[in-house]
Amino acid sequence: MREPTETRRAFRVHGRVQGVGFRWWTRRRASELGLRGVVRNLPDGTVEVLAAGPRDALNRLHALLHDGPPVAEVARVDETEPPADDLPATFEIR
């Protein structure tokens, strides 16, 4: 049986997503899905999520990001070009 290939995706989450536990929530969800990558706050008030793993898990994370943790207010989630540089072996908050 063939190993599933890794896919990379990048998301920018807009709304009230900083100061509400969004990065910790994202790390937990991504780790549960077996993904690796990075989540970080950006100066413009958005949250950037860079993730790698099986396509189905990435699709599930994308869907989850639209809701976020209970106190977040997600306005929209944009998919952006994933970076070419290496991502960590686990899912990290930066």
Nearest to 3 by CA among 53, 59, 51: 53
Q: Which two tokens stand for residue 58?
A: 């990435």
pLDDT in tens, 33-60: 999 999 999 999 999 999 999 999 999 9
Q: How far is Cα 29 from Cα 77, in angstroms, rounded to an integer?
A: 16
List, by residue number, the catalytic residues.
23, 41
Q: Which two tokens stand for residue 48?
A: 């950037």
Q: For residue 71, which amino acid is it?
A: V
pLDDT in tens, 70-80: 999 999 999 98
Q: What is the DSSP letter of 3?
A: P
* Structural class in CATH, domain 7-47+58-84: alpha beta
- What pTM did the predictor assign? 0.92
What is the H or E stretch that residue 60 is in?
helix 55-65
